[in-house]
Amino acid sequence: MRNNRRRLLALGSALLAIAAVVFIYDTYRNEVMARLYAEALGRSPYYRGSVESQAAVKTLATYRGRRSTIMLLDLASRQNTLTPGAQVEAINALRDRKGAEIAIVLANLLQPHEALSTRQAAATALKGLPCKGDCIRLVLHYLERVMRGEPNEEDRTVFPPGTENLRVDQQTSQQMLYDTLYSILQQEKIETLTSLVQSMVSGVMTQRLLAST
């Protein structure tokens, strides 16, 4: 009886010790991620420079789990003049984390006002992610805006005489972006066709409603 009681006490002590170690490690892990996230954002006192912020994102990406994913999604969703490379680095890091919610967040970066590098990184990441439903609709919406003549952020750049080659390079980069997006639509044929049909039906219904008023 006493031996059983001693064994139970020993087992209980061992479990408490394991729980304490897990708690300490988890607390330390969260603190490290919080510091890396703050450095990537450029927050004082952790900010050291743009290059270091990009390195902080890369290190943050080595941590798995929901918490680090949320941090990376937040970094990918915002432009920061203090740490300009952190956003693209976060987008690149999210390529290896599968999930429909990640694809939607990245597809939402396909906006004409976003930097070309941001749109390129988002498009490249989407090729390896499950782009369905809202993700496809966001891709189609961006391409539609471009086809209708809405200028991208870089289209407002004024190139002085003698720098025509820079303009050509920009156009080449834009075309590569469009080709990547079209390849995603081709990759998800059924989703694309479904979205196009739904859009057409919605357009017809809207026209009828307007005509009846």
| Percent of the chain whose predicted confidence (pLDDT) is above 70 | 81
pTM of the model: 0.80
CA distances from 171 to 22, 74, 108, 167, 189 (A): 53, 29, 22, 6, 27
Kindly report, residue by residue over 36-67, the tens digit of the pLDDT.
999 998 888 888 888 899 999 999 999 999 99
Winning range, highest mean pLDDT, from 11-25, 110-124, 154-168: 110-124
Kindly report, residue by residue over 190-206, the tens digit of the pLDDT.
999 998 888 775 554 34
Give 100's Cβ-side CA count (13 Å radius): 5
Kindly report, residue by residue over 106-155, the tens digit of the pLDDT.
999 999 999 999 999 999 999 999 999 999 999 999 999 999 999 999 98
How far is Cα 156 from Cα 181, in angstroms, rounded to an integer? 22
Q: Show me where the domains of the chain are located.
A: 28-97, 99-156+164-213
